[in-house]
Structure 1
Amino acid sequence: MVEVIGAGFGRTGTMSVRAALEALGRGPCHHMADVLGEPAATVRWTAALRGDREALRAAVAGYRATSDFPGCLLWRELMDLFPDAKVLLSVRDPESWYRSAVRTIFDPVMDQVFAKLGPETVEFVAALAERGYRRHPGRDAAVAWFTRHNAEVRAAVPAEKLLVYEVREGWEPLCGFLGADVPPEPFPRVNDSGDFTGTVARFLGGG
């Protein structure tokens, strides 16, 4: 059962959030990395993005948390399915977010990644676009989408169930929100732009 719903967009530290949640015992945590490359998962998420409630339930079966796309686009639906879950909105400055996104998730090289993943991914990408995630949106449209999404989450989620969070804040706000002890190890910092680029290059190179 999902206990923590990650409503923050990719490139707001969602991979670090995933690692942190799992370190705090809220794992496994679903992330876009769990979707790409697995046709069955892609099919489930395509149906979920298009309104199939049971497909969404199946897509997150076995997970205790979500982070990143595509789950962040379905935060309302996940709240309906899991009314006791808390919502974690990871954020960053919109301009900084866009600069990171252009170098990573909006980079044209991602078209090659999706093409390599198989025919099921075509419908998945289309379903993401129907929810607002367009591959090459342009700066103004992307920043407006990011800002609007964050404002909608802030407005809709009860304050006692919501943490608006920047990963640079580290363990303390997250642990306080979840009622967990602060771990002795440093807060995880993973998947910066350089990590992302290296992962994509290895994937396309077959390594």
Structure 2
Amino acid sequence: MSMQEALRTLGYNTYHMEALLRDGSHAKKWRELYEGKVSVKEVFEKIAKDGYNATMDNPMCEYFAEQMKMFPDAQVILTLHPKEAAGWEKSFSTLMETVRVQSSPFSLFYPNFLSFIPRVQDLNAARCLMGQKTMWLEPCKLIYEYDQHREGWLATQYEKHNAMVRTLVPEEKLLEFTVTEGWVNDSAFIARLGLMLKVVIYSWIPVTVLLL
């Protein structure tokens, strides 16, 4: 069971990147954020207004600190890779290679002419937000420049991100979890989740979940 489905099972209406694909108004709002026309606060106010009580995945995870300020009772789940930093680097590189192929000009998955479609432009703008706060990259550089560094750089970013989360989130509000722990069968874990009301942030870069 994915984290998203698990959270839905626990009663969270989870906001995921797929929401931007389903609802053009959300994709447009993220584009407006990228263009500086709206604030982060306005984006997440819309998410809450539209009935979501959980957010996960990118680009939402880029703004977990801002969401904690918006929702003072928020709690965070930091999901760790079972093979630690080196394992995450390998997994992330594989994912980005797939995305890179799909988004290349004249790709069968993503023909270049699609970039003229407003919805696609909105989604591309949202994609440009990814990696700025979690990996300290410049806007729009995640897909094509994540690997323009020495071997081990990604692993270092993973460790830096996790250290940042641990610094910003009070210990009593932080729950660290490795998927191999099998939390679905962990009654203590589920009991603690049950005490957390509202918002979640979950990311694959590295995974962070915030609950309010």
TM range (shorter): 0.5 to 0.7
Q: What corresponds to 2:40 in structure 1?
A: 52
1:177 has 2:162 as partner: no
Equivalences for 1:1-207 in 2 at 5 Å?
Answer: 16-25=2-11, 27-36=12-21, 38-48=23-33, 51-61=39-49, 62-92=51-81, 93-107=84-98, 108-112=100-104, 116=114, 118-131=120-133, 132=136, 134-136=142-144, 137-138=146-147, 139-170=151-182, 171=184, 172=186, 174-179=189-194
Which structure 1 segments of 5+ residues have no match?
Answer: 1-14, 181-207
2:78 counterpart SS class: strand
Q: Identity, % of aligned pairs?
A: 27
Q: What is the CA RMSD across the aligned residues, in angstroms?
A: 2.6
Residues 95, 38 of structure 1: CA spacing in aligned structure 2 closer, same or farther, 3 A cutoff? farther
* Distance in 2 (alpha carbons) for counterparts of 1:174 and 1:32: 25
Cα deviation digits, residues 108-151 of structure 1 (max 9, x gap): 22425676561222322222254446113015343222221111
1:68 counterpart SS class: coil
Identify the range of structure 1 (103-112 vs 71-80) with the bigger mean alpha-carbon deviation. Answer: 103-112
Structure 1 length normalisation: TM-score? 0.67
2:43 counterpart SS class: helix
Q: Is the 8 A contact 1:29 1:67 kept in 2?
A: yes
Q: Is the 8 A contact 1:87 1:157 kept in 2?
A: yes
Q: Is the 8 A contact 1:57 1:81 kept in 2?
A: no
Higher radius of gyration, 1 or 2: 2
Cα deviation digits, residues 45-81 of structure 1 (max 9, x gap): 2444664311222134411212221121110111111
Which structure 2 segments of 5+ residues have no match?
Answer: 196-212
Q: Is the 8 A contact 1:30 1:60 kept in 2?
A: no
Letter in 2 for 1:125: R
Q: Is the 8 A contact 2:59 2:127 kept in 1?
A: no
1:90 counterpart SS class: strand
